[in-house]
């Protein structure tokens, strides 16, 4: 199996809930990434949740909601 990119890139597959890399990965519509390491890819959903919370807070402030 070859890795995509130099250095290798890793992806989190939301279809299979696992780290994938190389030519044997799912279509891009199922992938989050790329990430520089398998450990970073495993944290993908946590990062998505954290960013969504930050954006929701920013939207609330922009709309005048003080909370």
Given a cut of 80, is residue 65 above it in pLDDT?
A: no
DSSP string, 21-56: ETTS---GGGEEEEESSHHHHHTHHHHHHHHHHHHH
- Residue 4, C-beta contacts closer than 8 angstroms, at least 6 positions apart: 21, 22, 23, 25, 34
Does pTM top 0.85 for this prediction? no
**pLDDT computed for residue 66 by the predictor:** 62
- How confident is residue 64, by pLDDT bands cut at 50, 70 and 90? confident
Backbone phi, psi, residue 28, to 5°: -60, -25
Q: What digits encode the pLDDT tens for the residues 7-59?
A: 889 999 999 999 999 998 999 999 999 999 999 999 999 999 999 999 999 99
**pLDDT computed for residue 55 by the predictor:** 93
**pLDDT computed for residue 1 by the predictor:** 45
């Amino acid at each position: 199996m070859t890795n995509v990119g130099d250095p290798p890139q890793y992806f989190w597959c939301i279809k299979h809930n696992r780290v994938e890399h190389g030519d044997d990965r799912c279509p891009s519509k199922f992938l989050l990434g790329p990430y520089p390491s398998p450990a970073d890819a495993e944290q993908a959903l946590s990062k998505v949740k954290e960013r969504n919370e930050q954006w929701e807070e920013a939207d609330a402030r922009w709309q005048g909601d003080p909370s």
